[in-house]
Structure 1
Amino acid sequence: MFRMMQSLLLILTMFSCQSSVSRIDLKKHVIVLPVEATKNETHAGTVLQDYVKRITGMTLPVIKENVYQKDQAAIFVGNTEHSTSYGKLKGEGFVIAADMRDVYIKGGSGKGVVYGVYTLIEKYFGARKYAEGPAVVPATKEVSVPQQLMDKQEPTLVYRETYYPEAFDNEYLEWHKLHRFEDLWGLWGHSFFKIVPPKTYYATHPEYYALVDGKRQATQLCLSNEGVFNVTVDYLRKAIADNPDALYWSIAAEDGGGFCTCDQCSQVNKEEGSASGSLIQFINKVAAKFPDQHFTTLAYLYTAKAPLKTKPASNVYIMLSSIDAYRQEPLSTIPSAADFRKNLESWGALTDHLFVWDYTTQFTNYLAPFPDYRNLQPNLLYMTAHKVRGVFSQGSGDTYGDMDAYNAYLQAKLLWDPAADAVAITKDFFDGYYGKAGVPVLDYVNALSASKAQLDIYGNPVASAKNYLSPEAIDKYSTILDKAEAAAEGEYLKRVYNTRLGLEYCVLQQSRFYGTDKYGYLQASGDGFVVNPRWPERVKKFVAQCKVAGVKELSEGGASPDAYQQEWDTIFSKKWVNSIAYNAKVTLLNPPSDEYPAKRERTLTDGLLGTKDFSINWLFIYGKDLVATIDLGAQKTVNTLQVNFLNDPRHYIFNPATITVETSVDGVNFTKAGTQRTPSIADEDYTTSINTYKFGLSAVQARYVRVTGQCQASVPGWRGAPPTKRPSVCADEVYIL
């Protein structure tokens, strides 16, 4: 018993001594920089001084090493003479070390020393940078580190970018050790036409561009053309001279198809088994002219598959896209990512210079809840295990989107360390960003994440209305956020309101689809329908909150909040049309697309008009004619017929070549009542438009009316489509009066 007491006293004494001397109080230290401090070392010292002042109210002196006195307790920042060698640091790695009195922060290349200072501020001082705007500093007034500290960190990835509004804050990038492609690339992304712009060269040198359907067209470049090579080299020589600090230069195909089919390009691609063959051979040839530069290209769509023979040069980096994968499961297992996995392995067999362009938002609806959060870490672990050394994680860009602050924060932490504790990071974020509302908001996120419904980066709330975004599910989520609102106040309450925008957006979008049905924006009135009087005010409040949250556009290249308000104002202004075809039975010769089914046959007689969003209230027929027979239920007098068709070339949707209307009494024998032809589509034009076609039928007696929209024979060459891609026809309501 005595020995046990002795041991206990010894342990307590050791613990007491350790707790009293184990930390170094930094409030009386000086910050010491090298005599010839670099820009990043100077910046790191200034940041450290600033945050110590914010936390403690005290200003630590920043001095150069040549005036430092040995009796001064110091924080040595950068490659000072006093810093011990900690071995060569990998990339932008850093080390934070301490002895019994002094602290040393040393960085590798780039901003490593800056990252080290921000890690000191967060990890050891307790400050946080949850989103854009000012950081959160602790109220303890303490700045200290453990004695004999050794914290060495090195990045797994050489390129780390999360693309959300938070990442447009310069301090957020440095705090979380992130990059911005504008800072690294002299030329980024789809770049063929930046290098060889059609406006400059097509008229005089059509041979520079792809041979498609036997004609030179400005869809892609002809990579076997020597003139294209010479123009590219000249362009890069000047661009590199103008921007010598750029690390990467992109030489990549345009977004779309229309690759060159000339004899030479075709022969190369045939031998290589992929359009990437001619691309890599071309880039290797260019890269040889600039051996000290690094070039990137996109393995995307037609170039996603690695070539069979040609390896990328040592200064060429491949950025593989994961665009075809759904997001409800990790990329390592989900069937839709099978090609991505195969391509990743094939490229990995050719090169160690692999980047991935990944996607973590719904581009067609930035606000729609998109609960892929739990897959972020498994995806990064899978990628890094397969040689990936850089990730561009594309979110909603500079506009507010679903859980953007959380997405950016979690991605930032995992991009630096894919094996980090994601659960602890998540808890820290929700507690800090939402305050007392953190628990219920996390409950909301967990409720969303419990669904295994398909997550499509080009989906929409209507397509998900039968599963995780059903009206019933939205009510459940809303109840959880009610608890968050009750717990929050001030800035935290504002953040809860912003988080709620996603649910409200889904309700509004779905109400367009439901229309006259339950959950629709219309309500019965007499023999027809009128706008629910609560809806205009609901839309107005939604738009106002969007502006508070920082919503700039609701989809990629889509409507602003003001434009969304105008869409609704247009919808509200249209009076209900009491068509004799309302809710009439429709028979289709060709079925609608399973991907965009709308209400299937009923789409043409549900009383609702479509907007420029093809995914709602449009009957989408892929590659075939729209042939719709409407049964009016009894023989009626038909005077006029009106039908709308959507023209959206960006999504391969075109006006029908012809629209024909026929009538019948018995449903067997039909009489043509009129035909209209649409204008030609020979010239390049990506404008989205809704086109109305009216037919006067002069009091025809009919029970059946047949509308035929003849699908275009092929996608116009200027659109740039693969040989297998066919045009679509989209029609909305058929009004018969």
Structure 2
Amino acid sequence: MKPIIMKSLIEICIISISKSMFRFNIILISLFLGMLGCQPSYSQLRAKGFLISDDGTTEGERWASYLFTHLQKRSENKKVILRMRQEENPPQGYFHLHIQVNPELPFDYEIKNGKAALNLSAKDNRTMLWLIYQLIDRIGEANDYIQNEDLPPAYIDFKDQARNFDFSYREPHYQPNTDSDYAGILGTNQLDADWGIWGHNLSKLVEKREASHAKLDGKPMPEQLCFSSPDLLEQTKAYIVDNYGDGGLGHGNHFMLAPEDNAIAFTCEACTAAGNKVGDASAAVFAFLGKISALFPNHQFFTTVYGTVKSPPKGKLPSNVGVLLSTIDLPKGVSFKDAKEFNVFKKKVNTWTLKSSKLYLWDYSMNFDDYLTVQPSLLSMQAQWKDFKALGIKGIFLNASGYDYSSLDDVKTYVAAALMNDVDLPVEQLLRAYLHRFYPKSASILALYLIDQEKQSFQGKGYGMYAGFADIQKTYLLADRFANSYKELEKLLPQVTGLERKKLQKLLLGMGFSKLQLAYQKGLESGGAFEIKNDQVRVKADILKIVEDLRAGFSANGIKMYKEADGDISNYLVAWKSYSGWGQQRNRLTASQVKWIQPGDNNKEALHTCLNGILGFPQDYQQGWFTSNEDIAFEVNFNDLQGTKGMFIRFLVNEKHRFNVPTTIEIHQSGKLINKLKFGLIKEEESPVKEIVIPFQGVDLSKPLLVRIQKASEENKRLAIDELQILH
């Protein structure tokens, strides 16, 4: 995610209009409405040509001209698309399209049918742009002379209707939606276009002055802002005026004003007077929002209920102030039926509903530790959003892979955008329509796999937001179906051309990544990525060929990340290529010789990860590492390994995820402490992997040995180990 969201240089006609600009052309409207009375289906949009008129307003004329221009561009015969002012007596068999933008419309859009006529009304320009492209696609379906193959399939039927979107703010934060033109066609919002400030970035936009710093027990804290500071208010005001103006004439924007992402709650005299408490800065933040929102009534201001913003204000918030609630604690990939977490969330929403009419959600639709394995999310998305709608949620920011590619993100963007408009639309129908349009040759293969995957995941355990591949295998991969689909798509690729080929190539690269991950998980087993040569563990030659093919493919297709944090795909591939050079000896210790004690009695996951003969990758804690928030303890019975001189264990060092070496390792035998090793924390730049040798001096290898590994208590450190290896 970009650290600072500035106003987009590309504006795609999403400027709201002033009520004072709206006026009806009474004669034209009366003439048109006189033709109403029939109720055609969209198949009745089949016509010899189209006649386009407007309501006589500036905006109506603008959008009628837009529709006229874009229909003409999509037709080789320009004479089949006419403007009313160009033709007093339209040819027989032409269909009449009338366009009007009415800011006083009680709905987001309205469609009225007449005899060979259609009246389209929208409340604002964003909606009219979306409505026009829905119409163009339907016209293209009904008439061969209008090209629509490049447009996302329309999902409204153009029967008589007047409705509001289910959510007023709609952003599926996938890579396709970061394209401004495409977002306009989908009718969605964008961080870059709609937010002047996003996240915890206010401090990056104001000067770092002591007058705006928070105080804690009288001491200035430059790492946190003081929301009671007049200086911070003036600086924020100046930033908005200089970059976005006052938001008049429909140019209003969104601004996220939140404290820094840390636990410091400012308690200066003014903040305490406002109502701040230890650990809770809510009162001063909402007081600040009240002041800034009064200065800019045409802009929208938000904060997040997160960190030190915990408590609702005493009174109701101004109409242009809202809050963003996170769904991070809710289950993903399943319905909320019988979910205790949702009952807690519901109470939270009900509390905030009393304070603000603008409740938006920061929702999630991604396994952020794997962008490339195809992940189901659409059925659960629909089920959960129905519940959110019932709670009165007004907007959804759907956090996904953002500016990076994720497998089939185009499909998910389309379906998510449609559901944000109308959460009751049939997911399977949307999915098939999009695949038929953009994956015509491979649609049947993809639909079979995706729909099956969606249903099984939705009825099962769902997915984890930070799940490693071992967990993915247990939840949503469907390994056999995946393997068959991959083979079929790979076989089909030479027959595919154009845009579908480009999309399919990227998808197959993502699936190739998943295939490589499957081989890693199988390790030294049949079908695994590794083999023993000269008593050393090496990557098989055919796997290295796959790695090189993926490297070339990722580079050619601009795929750079495979996960959110530390996800550079080139580093992942380098680990594969360098593995054989690590000099790993075959591990003679087996799971039958180890009894796992902590965490989890006889922990099968720990035994498999630490004794499968494969080392973890340094850049990824999900790749071959057993991770623990607790101390680790296990018992070893060496049996016939009497020549063993010691044991060595590798520890991952990753500061971002709090992994480091232990403070002590103790060796116990027969209830006695035999040896105790002490260690100091190390920096990640010193070594991302630290190998620690445990000598077995004074140890009787005929008896079991207890090993206790104590994690560091500083900053709540964690432990990550891969293979338990023995020295000869």
Please classify the TM superposition score into its range, dividing by the shorter chain length: 0.7 to 0.9
CA, structure 1 residues 22+609, in 2 after alignment: closer, same or farther (shift >3 Å)? Answer: closer
Q: Which residue of 1 aligns with 2:6?
A: none
CA distance in 1, matches of 2:109, 2:658: 50
In the alignment, is residue 171 of structure 1 matched against residue 169 of structure 2?
A: no
Letter in 1 for 2:364: Y
Letter in 2 for 1:615: Q
User: Structure 1 residue 362: deviation in Å?
Assistant: 0.9
In the alignment, is residue 649 of structure 1 matched against residue 655 of structure 2?
A: yes
CA distance in 1, matches of 2:573, 2:294: 53
Find the residue that maps to 2:78 and give its secondary structure.
coil
User: Structure 1 residue 572: deviation in Å?
Assistant: 3.7
**Is this contact kept in 2: 1:94–1:153, CA < 8 A?**
yes
Q: Which residue of 2 aligns with 1:71?
A: 89
Residues 191-206 of structure 1 correspond to what in structure 2 (within 5 A)?
Answer: 191-196=201-206, 200-201=208-209, 204=210
CA, structure 1 residues 172+41, in 2 after alignment: closer, same or farther (shift >3 Å)? Answer: farther
CA, structure 1 residues 361+26, in 2 after alignment: closer, same or farther (shift >3 Å)? Answer: farther
Find the residue that maps to 1:643 and give its secondary structure.
strand
User: Structure 1 residue 639: deviation in Å?
Assistant: 5.5
CA, structure 1 residues 618+545, in 2 after alignment: closer, same or farther (shift >3 Å)? Answer: same
**Is this contact kept in 2: 1:592–1:619, CA < 8 A?**
no
In the alignment, is residue 616 of structure 1 matched against residue 623 of structure 2?
A: yes
**Residues 22-59 of structure 1 deviation map (CA, whole Å, 9 limit, x = unaligned):** 66735364x55688745x95466345433344244436
Q: Which residue of 2 aligns with 1:89?
A: 105
Q: Which residue of 2 aligns with 1:182?
A: 192
Find the residue that maps to 2:480 and give its secondary structure.
helix
User: Structure 1 residue 316: deviation in Å?
Assistant: 0.6
Residues 711-730 of structure 1 correspond to what in structure 2 (within 5 A)?
Answer: 711-715=711-715, 726-730=716-720
User: Structure 1 residue 365: deviation in Å?
Assistant: 0.7
**Residues 287-331 of structure 1 deviation map (CA, whole Å, 9 limit, x = unaligned):** 33433432011223564x552734332221112111122223124
User: Structure 1 residue 591: deviation in Å?
Assistant: 0.8
CA distance in 1, matches of 2:181, 2:235: 39
In the alignment, is residue 221 of structure 1 matched against residue 219 of structure 2?
A: no
CA, structure 1 residues 525+481, in 2 after alignment: closer, same or farther (shift >3 Å)? Answer: closer
Q: Which residue of 1 aligns with 2:312?
A: 307
Q: Which residue of 1 aligns with 2:470?
A: 462
Q: Which residue of 2 aligns with 1:512?
A: 520
CA distance in 1, matches of 2:552, 2:227: 49
CA distance in 1, matches of 2:651, 2:273: 41
CA distance in 2, matches of 1:101, 1:621: 68
CA distance in 2, matches of 1:641, 1:48: 77
**Residues 51-103 of structure 1 deviation map (CA, whole Å, 9 limit, x = unaligned):** 3442444366776x8x6453346988887xxx6x9894247x34455655665
- Of 104-113 and 360-369, deviating more is 104-113
CA, structure 1 residues 192+398, in 2 after alignment: closer, same or farther (shift >3 Å)? Answer: closer
Residues 574-585 of structure 1 correspond to what in structure 2 (within 5 A)?
Answer: 574-578=582-586, 581=589, 585=593
CA, structure 1 residues 696+614, in 2 after alignment: closer, same or farther (shift >3 Å)? Answer: closer
CA, structure 1 residues 272+314, in 2 after alignment: closer, same or farther (shift >3 Å)? Answer: farther
CA distance in 1, matches of 2:612, 2:264: 38
User: Structure 1 residue 135: deviation in Å?
Assistant: 0.8
In the alignment, is residue 564 of structure 1 matched against residue 572 of structure 2?
A: yes
Name the TM-score, length of structure 1 as normaliser: 0.77
Name the TM-score, length of structure 2 as normaliser: 0.78
In the alignment, is residue 250 of structure 1 matched against residue 240 of structure 2?
A: no
Find the residue that maps to 1:445 and give its secondary structure.
helix
CA, structure 1 residues 224+510, in 2 after alignment: closer, same or farther (shift >3 Å)? Answer: farther
User: Structure 1 residue 659: deviation in Å?
Assistant: 4.2
Q: Note the residue ranges of structure 2 that are not aligned, 5 or more in a row.
A: 1-39
CA, structure 1 residues 363+421, in 2 after alignment: closer, same or farther (shift >3 Å)? Answer: same
User: Structure 1 residue 474: deviation in Å?
Assistant: 0.8
CA distance in 2, matches of 1:192, 1:588: 48
Find the residue that maps to 2:105 and give its secondary structure.
coil
Letter in 2 for 1:632: F
**Residues 419-464 of structure 1 deviation map (CA, whole Å, 9 limit, x = unaligned):** 3343432332232232243233211112212231241111122123
Give 1:387's match in structure 2, choosing from 382, 385, 392.
Answer: 392
In the alignment, is residue 633 of structure 1 matched against residue 639 of structure 2?
A: yes
Q: Note the residue ranges of structure 1 that are not aligned, 5 or more in a row.
A: 1-17, 139-144, 716-725
**Residues 692-720 of structure 1 deviation map (CA, whole Å, 9 limit, x = unaligned):** 144585976653776655433242xxxxx
Q: Which residue of 1 aligns with 2:366?
A: 361
CA, structure 1 residues 235+465, in 2 after alignment: closer, same or farther (shift >3 Å)? Answer: same
Residues 524-535 of structure 1 correspond to what in structure 2 (within 5 A)?
Answer: 524-525=532-533, 527-535=535-543
User: Structure 1 residue 344: deviation in Å?
Assistant: 1.9
Letter in 2 for 1:669: K
**Is this contact kept in 2: 1:642–1:736, CA < 8 A?**
yes
Q: Which residue of 1 aligns with 2:723?
A: 733
Find the residue that maps to 1:649 and give its secondary structure.
coil
- Of 117-126 and 540-549, deviating more is 540-549
Give 2:445's match in structure 1, choosing from 427, 440, 444.
Answer: 440
CA distance in 1, matches of 2:150, 2:553: 24
Letter in 2 for 1:111: R
**Is this contact kept in 1: 2:632–2:708, CA < 8 A?**
yes
Find the residue that maps to 1:692 and give its secondary structure.
strand
- Of 444-453 and 254-263, deviating more is 254-263
CA distance in 2, matches of 1:267, 1:629: 58
- Of 396-405 and 223-232, deviating more is 223-232
- Of 235-244 and 500-509, deviating more is 235-244
Letter in 2 for 1:643: I
**Is this contact kept in 2: 1:163–1:392, CA < 8 A?**
yes
CA distance in 1, matches of 2:589, 2:284: 55
Give 1:678's match in structure 2, choosing from 674, 677, 681.
Answer: 681
Letter in 1 for 2:123: G
Residues 33-432 of structure 1 correspond to what in structure 2 (within 5 A)?
Answer: 37-38=58-59, 42=62, 45-46=65-66, 48-58=68-78, 68=86, 70-72=88-90, 88-90=104-106, 93-95=108-110, 99-100=114-115, 104-126=119-141, 135=150, 150=160, 152=162, 154-196=164-206, 200-201=208-209, 204=210, 208-209=213-214, 211=216, 220-224=224-228, 228-241=232-245, 245-255=251-261, 257-260=263-266, 276-300=282-306, 303=309, 306-307=311-312, 309-331=314-336, 333-432=338-437
CA, structure 1 residues 75+258, in 2 after alignment: closer, same or farther (shift >3 Å)? Answer: farther
**Is this contact kept in 1: 2:428–2:451, CA < 8 A?**
no
Letter in 1 for 2:713: A
CA, structure 1 residues 28+342, in 2 after alignment: closer, same or farther (shift >3 Å)? Answer: closer
CA distance in 2, matches of 1:633, 1:268: 69
Find the residue that maps to 2:316 and give its secondary structure.
coil
CA, structure 1 residues 273+579, in 2 after alignment: closer, same or farther (shift >3 Å)? Answer: closer
CA, structure 1 residues 372+125, in 2 after alignment: closer, same or farther (shift >3 Å)? Answer: same
Residues 446-485 of structure 1 correspond to what in structure 2 (within 5 A)?
Answer: 446-449=451-454, 450-451=456-457, 452-469=460-477, 473-480=478-485, 482-483=487-488
- Of 631-640 and 669-678, deviating more is 631-640
**Is this contact kept in 1: 2:276–2:282, CA < 8 A?**
no
User: Structure 1 residue 208: deviation in Å?
Assistant: 1.9
Q: Identity of aligned pairs, percent?
A: 20
**Is this contact kept in 1: 2:368–2:465, CA < 8 A?**
yes
Q: Which residue of 1 aligns with 2:529?
A: 521
**Is this contact kept in 2: 1:211–1:222, CA < 8 A?**
no
**Is this contact kept in 2: 1:49–1:62, CA < 8 A?**
no
Q: Which residue of 1 aligns with 2:7?
A: none
CA, structure 1 residues 294+608, in 2 after alignment: closer, same or farther (shift >3 Å)? Answer: same
Q: Which residue of 2 aligns with 1:142?
A: none
**Is this contact kept in 2: 1:41–1:113, CA < 8 A?**
no
